[in-house]
């Protein structure tokens, strides 16, 4: 299947305060971010013309920039307004939004205090790819050879671009071996997360167990699903989970902006059976993300 390159599309991108033609959004190859990974980003979804948890994503983008020692030169309101206008201009009903901020090309070297801080937002159509029934088949995963780093060695509480290289390597290895994704352990050997999503396990005790996010992001979708699960009567246990604890899990699923709620059927030799818990939370999440558009339609 032919790819549709992301640098050659119709539409608009918001770049440093202006809406420009998609193909005109250029980056010089001597930009600091390209050489030293001084960039932070977000992934957001549009459902029925409404951006889910927009302000939470914007706040995290600004926080990530501060952690990387730069300040994004726009307010949360300005960034939110640009995002909303962008999906209107691009005619997006169900889609994906990618805001990113980075150090520019004014200085080339490890030190770059005087480099310009750029910000851009792109948005494109991204309809639901899987029905609930298709999702219930579950993912096959392997355990990655790479581990999430110690927070003393990397800015692990930011959504920084550089932190995702081990995710790319892990996913490439998994896909080359016929798996859908990979599970990363942390530097201590505890279960951490998938390559772009958090993870939950329904254990034999009937409770949902999820890794303590002390060296990876406490995802916005993760927090949403936490609340939805509690509302459905599930008790949440946040703890350090050993890989061998997966032997006591009946169901497992990923949560994230891209994967939403997606069941897992195996991780290495550990097998799970996507069932009532997964289906309940898939449906609850779908209801939650579509709520604003339904409310808007009802008000018209």
* Number of Cα atoms under 13 Å in the Cβ half of residue 157: 9
Closest among 166, 164, 171, 230 to 200, alpha carbons compared: 230
Q: Which of the residues 26, 63, 84, 159 is marked catalytic?
A: 159
Residue pair 123/46 in contact (Cβ under 8 Å)? The answer is: yes
For residue 77, the 8-state DSSP code is H
Whether 173 sits among the annotated catalytic residues: the reply is no
Secondary-structure percent of the chain, ordered helix, strand, coil, rounded to 5:
35, 30, 40
Using an 8 Å Cβ cutoff, are 90 and 29 in contact? no
Q: Bin 167: left if φ > 0, else alpha if -120 < ψ < 50, else beta.
A: alpha
The per-residue DSSP string of 146-208 comes to: EEEPPTTTS-TTS-BGGGGHHHHHHHHHHHHTT-SEEEEEETTS-EEEESSSEEEEEETTS-E
Residue 172, number of CB atoms within 10 A of its CB: 12
Burial call 197-210: b when 16+ CB within 10 Å, e when fewer: bbbbbbbeeeebbb
Q: Are 26 and 16 in contact (CB under 8 A)?
A: no
- Active-site positions read 159
């Amino acid at each position: 299947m032919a790819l549709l390159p992301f640098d050659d599309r119709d539409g608009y991108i918001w770049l440093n305060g202006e809406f420009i033609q998609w193909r005109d959004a250029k980056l010089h190859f001597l930009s600091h971010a390209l050489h030293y990974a001084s960039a932070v980003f977000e992934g957001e979804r549009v459902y029925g013309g409404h951006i889910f948890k927009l302000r939470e994503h914007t706040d995290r983008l600004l926080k990530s920039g501060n952690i990387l020692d730069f300040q994004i030169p726009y307010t949360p309101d300005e960034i939110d307004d640009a995002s909303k206008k962008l999906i209107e201009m691009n005619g997006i009903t169900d889609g994906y939004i990618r805001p990113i901020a980075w150090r520019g090309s004014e200085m080339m070297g490890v030190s770059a205090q005087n480099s310009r801080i750029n910000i851009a937002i792109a948005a494109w159509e991204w309809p639901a790819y899987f029905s609930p029934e298709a999702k219930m088949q579950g993912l096959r995963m392997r355990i990655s050879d790479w581990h999430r780093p110690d927070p003393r060695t990397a800015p692990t509480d930011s959504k920084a671009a550089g932190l995702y290289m081990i995710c790319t390597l892990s996913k490439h290895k998994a896909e080359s071996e016929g798996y859908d994704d990979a599970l990363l352990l942390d530097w201590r050997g505890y279960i951490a997360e998938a390559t772009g999503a958090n993870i939950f396990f329904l254990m034999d005790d009937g409770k949902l167990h999820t890794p303590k996010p002390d060296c990876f992001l406490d995802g916005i979708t993760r927090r949403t699903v936490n609340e939805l699960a509690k509302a459905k009567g599930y008790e949440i246990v946040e703890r350090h989970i050993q890989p061998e604890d997966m032997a006591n899990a009946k169901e497992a699923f990923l949560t994230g902006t891209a994967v939403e709620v997606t069941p897992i059927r195996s991780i290495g030799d550990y097998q799970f059976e996507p069932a009532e818990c997964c289906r309940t939370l898939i449906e609850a999440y779908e209801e939650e993300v579509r709520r604003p558009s339904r409310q808007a339609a009802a008000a018209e």
